Amino acid sequence: MSEIPNLSHVDDSGNVRMVDVGAKPLSRRRAVATGKVSMDSATTAALRELPKGDALATAQVAGIMAAKRTSDLIPLCHPLPLSKIDVELRVDGGFVHIVATVETTAQTGVEMEALTAVSVAALTVYDMAKAIDKTMEICEISLVEKTKQPL
């Protein structure tokens, strides 16, 4: 089998594995991810009064819950003791902008938790508004900040 360079979740034989972070020191870690849902401007005006309820509040809670469950969704992610999860949704024109900030003190980062929070928040907005807008698109989900501070 050819060597696969720089893939931390693949061993020398090409098998998937959970990375051993046991020897790494604890550090304060933070990750920020963003994304957006594009939609008709009439849909953005109706987000708080949809038949299923307030889409923004529901999506915020869904994003928080998703960050907490990331290791259940992404097979090789470590379960982490999250100390902060903040999911913000802002309507601007024909978009719902989503920002998730996740923090922990642990041996590995929280990028996947921030990205999962944004993704699930966006999916929740989509689910709640799909009956009135068939043009919605989830787009531009990305990690925009990752920090690590030694203790």
User: Is residue 35 within a helix (H) or strand (E), and if so which, with residue range?
Assistant: strand 27-38
Strand pairing of 137-150 and 82-92?
unpaired
- 11 in active site: no
* Distance (Å, whole) CA 141 – CA 116: 10
| Domain-wise residue ranges, the chain | 27-150
**Residue 13: its pLDDT value, please?**
77
The mean pLDDT value for 123-141 works out to 96
Q: Could you tell me the pLDDT band of residue 2, with boundaries at 50, 70 and 90? A: low
**Residue 12: its pLDDT value, please?**
78
Read off the pLDDT of residues 34-47 as tens digits, 9 standing for 90 and up: 999 999 999 999 99
Residue with tokens 């928080």: 64
φ/ψ region of 135 (left if φ > 0, alpha if ψ in -120 to 50, else beta) reads: alpha
Read off the pLDDT of residues 39-75 as tens digits, 9 standing for 90 and up: 999 999 999 888 888 999 999 999 999 999 999 999 9
Percent share of the chain, pLDDT over 90: 79
For 80, other C-beta atoms within 10 Å of its C-beta total 22
Which CATH architecture best describes the domain 27-150?
A: 2-Layer Sandwich (3.30)
Residue with tokens 């999506």: 59
Q: Which residue in 40, 86, 127, 133 is the catalytic one?
A: 127
Q: Could you tell me the pLDDT band of residue 99, with boundaries at 50, 70 and 90? A: very high
Given a cut of 60, is residue 3 above it in pLDDT?
A: no
DSSP designation for 53: B
Burial 50-72 (b: 16+ CB within 10 A, else e): beeeebbebbbebbbbbbbebbe
pTM assigned to the model: 0.91
**Residue 5: its pLDDT value, please?**
61
**Whole-number mean pLDDT of the chain?**
92
